[in-house]
Amino acid sequence: MGYMALSTSIYELLWVEKYRPKTLDEIINQEEVVSRLKKFVETKNMPHLLFAGPAGTGKTTAAHALAHDLYGENYRQYMLELNASDERGINVIREKVKEFARSRTPPEIPFKIVLLDEADNMTADAQQALRRLMELYSVNTRFILIANYPSKIIDPIQSRCAFFRFQPLKKEDVVARLKYIAENEGVDYDYEALETIYEISEGDMRKAINILQAAAAIGKVTVDAVYKVVGMAKPKEVRQMLQLALKGDFNAARNLMRKLMIEYGLSGEDLIKQVHRVVMSNDFKVPEEARVLIADYVGEIHFRLVEGSDDDIQLSAFLAWLSMIGQRLGVEE
């Protein structure tokens, strides 16, 4: 079981790598970032960089594409890549980075690149050590730090870097790329399924590609297959559960809730997150006052579940509360 999971994970990562842009010109939906990076390639010089933004939006890809455009096909020998979530201790910063910084530089570019992925997971001591190294070896080494949460990077490091913020990918761009991948791999798919993948991935291209591959592994990529592989209930089923509760049919709503949890293997936290997504969607037609009250109580239930409360008790209480609110406000969703 563990071996199969590991093999699948490795295969998915290789699949993502296969369709990753190789140069800056191939990166889409990050026009401002790309235009600024191209200036560095033209001048063959750049400061330390900090890439920030949501997961799967092209931060690591942009760093590799920048190095490729600077050094050519053999760029990896002039770039040291470390994943700070694994190698984040002060000894790694002092030894690996220092050793690489002292090595020779490429013939035409006066610096090498140290790429620190997931730098927001570095310890405070490691960041302090890195701050000093960035000063000592700035003549022949440039650092690219990648972080989902730049606020976790200490201010002295932020002040030494040029800041680049990446935006979530647009729906049309993600769907177009998924379509391109599916057609190149000979995968049979429904267009609606690709749109569903985007909705689930929320602009995370890496997650979208992995969902596509997981769905393709069981046959044609359909909406049902997508929800099956990600372990999520369909929004219309969650919406139906909320409708039943708002109409006062508590028992039917509770039975559907239990069916969804058993059928899809959902935890209470998973289901309440989907409830929140449905409540915030335009398809959920309720008065604004009811939406506000429901959103507020969803937050309360989520907090209780995170703190360890029983899933069935809390979700049943939520549906009972919905039944009372629906009758009081006259909601007929």
Domain with 91, as residue range(s), is: 2-165
Q: Does 49 have pLDDT greater than 90?
A: yes
Query: Do 176 and 154 reside in the same domain of the chain?
Result: no
Query: Do 28 and 126 reside in the same domain of the chain?
Result: yes
Among the listed residues 34, 105, 100, 108, the one whose alpha carbon sits nearest the alpha carbon of residue 65: 34
Share of the chain above pLDDT 70, in %: 91
Q: pLDDT tens digits, residue range 231-263?
A: 888 888 899 999 999 988 999 999 999 988 888
Query: Do 324 and 276 reside in the same domain of the chain?
Result: yes
Query: Do 323 and 266 reside in the same domain of the chain?
Result: yes
pLDDT tier, 87 (very low <50, low <70, confident <90, very high otherwise): low
Query: Do 209 and 259 reside in the same domain of the chain?
Result: no
User: pTM for the complete prediction?
Assistant: 0.76
Residue where one domain finishes, among candidates 114, 137, 165: 165
How does the average pLDDT of the chain come out, rounded? 84
What value does the mean pLDDT take over residues 196-216? 88
Residue where one domain finishes, among candidates 212, 230, 248: 230
Among the listed residues 147, 160, 79, the one whose alpha carbon sits nearest the alpha carbon of residue 113: 79
The phi-psi region of residue 308 (left if phi > 0; otherwise alpha if psi is between -120 and 50; otherwise beta) is: left
Query: Do 49 and 197 reside in the same domain of the chain?
Result: no
DSSP state, residue 145: E
Residue where one domain finishes, among candidates 190, 211, 230: 230
Q: Specify the CATH number for the domain of residue 134.
A: 3.40.50.300
Number of domains in the chain: 3
Query: Do 267 and 215 reside in the same domain of the chain?
Result: no
pLDDT tier, 23 (very low <50, low <70, confident <90, very high otherwise): confident
pLDDT tier, 318 (very low <50, low <70, confident <90, very high otherwise): very high
d(C-alpha 106, C-alpha 112), whole Å: 7
Q: Which of 227-236, 267-276, 296-305 has the lowest mean pLDDT?
A: 227-236
pLDDT tier, 28 (very low <50, low <70, confident <90, very high otherwise): confident
Q: Specify the CATH number for the domain of residue 183.
A: 1.10.8.60
pLDDT of residue 276: 92
Are the beta carbons of 185 and 216 closer than 8 angstroms?
Answer: yes
Q: Specify the CATH number for the domain of residue 317.
A: 1.20.272.10
pLDDT of residue 11: 47
